[in-house]
Amino acid sequence: MNIIILGQGAIGLLWYRALQHLAGNSPDIKVKICSRPAQQATRQTFTFTAFSGLSEQRPLMAADNKALNECDHLLACVKSYQVKQALEPVLPHLNADTGIILCHNGMGTLTELPPEITNKRPILTMLTTHGCLRTKSRHIRHTGQGFSDIGLVSGQLTTGQKTGLTETLNFALPQVEWTNNITEKQWRKLAVNCVINPLTALHQLKNGQILTGKFDTQISAILAEICHVAKSQGIELNPAELEQIVRDVAQATANNISSMRCDVLAGKRSEIDYINGYIHRLGQEQQISTPENTLLWQQVSAL
């Protein structure tokens, strides 16, 4: 199986390292990474610090146009607002059967892609809870063991293709499971992100600090709006169950800094448009009031 990684952020390099390690023990697995033309001319490396604390340097094997044409799956690990732009230069070189796996926070990127992409090839979503931090350029640290769900959101794959892909990813970075209800799981993850990301970014908190009781009323209101909007899309969510999931995630990652807070601290664009902003836009389309999510979207955007 040939897999190419698109994106050299923390998650992209985490998956690249995991698949590269697997490929070293399995001749049937090949992995390369997309890079800028200037980088392809020189030998590039990156530093990986494992969850155990051990560090190693790994080579970055750049994918050329021939490799793109031969790849079975393109794993796009970029920010939600980068998906369309990042895919544009590589799409002409992919073969017609190459599957595209989207791995990012938030929702709404699929509708931004042209129909000739979404109608003619398999599009998958991967949701991961692994923690990973880019400490500096081409240096990442695996900060938390997690799991990943993968599922099809557009197009078709055979049962054998689903099994083969899931097994390969699971051998590389466990645990990975195939799910047929990936859209519902996307909504559950979106609900968690709609609470933890903006609250920690706006109030400069670690994840666990949203559980002090100060935000309880606001958290309930945020989730109630999400459940209402989700129902308009045919997704049934339980507010009490979602609140427990949010609390469990915040507790399990109590000392972590959310990706949105990292972006704000670094002066970078956040993914708020695809998190609370996604709820705001769907609410407007369905004539559903979402004052809490709309306010959070506006406040983080203003940062």
Catalytic residues: 189
- Sign, CA torsion 82/247/176/258: positive
Q: Smallest Cα–Cα separation from 247: which of 277, 280, 223?
A: 223
4 sits in which H/E element:
strand 2-6
Q: Which residue has the tokens 């590589």?
A: 90
What is d(CA 181, CA 243) in angstroms, rounded to the nearest whole number?
20
Residue 168 structure tokens:
């390969």
Amino acid at 207: N
- Burial of residue 280 (CB within 10 Å: 0-12, 13-18, 19+) is buried
What tokens does 294 get? 């709309």
Q: Of 205, 199, 204, which Cα lies nearest the Cα of 220?
A: 199
Residue 75: which of 58, 63, 66, 65 has the closest Cα?
Answer: 63
Q: N- to C-terminal Cα distance for the chain?
A: 43
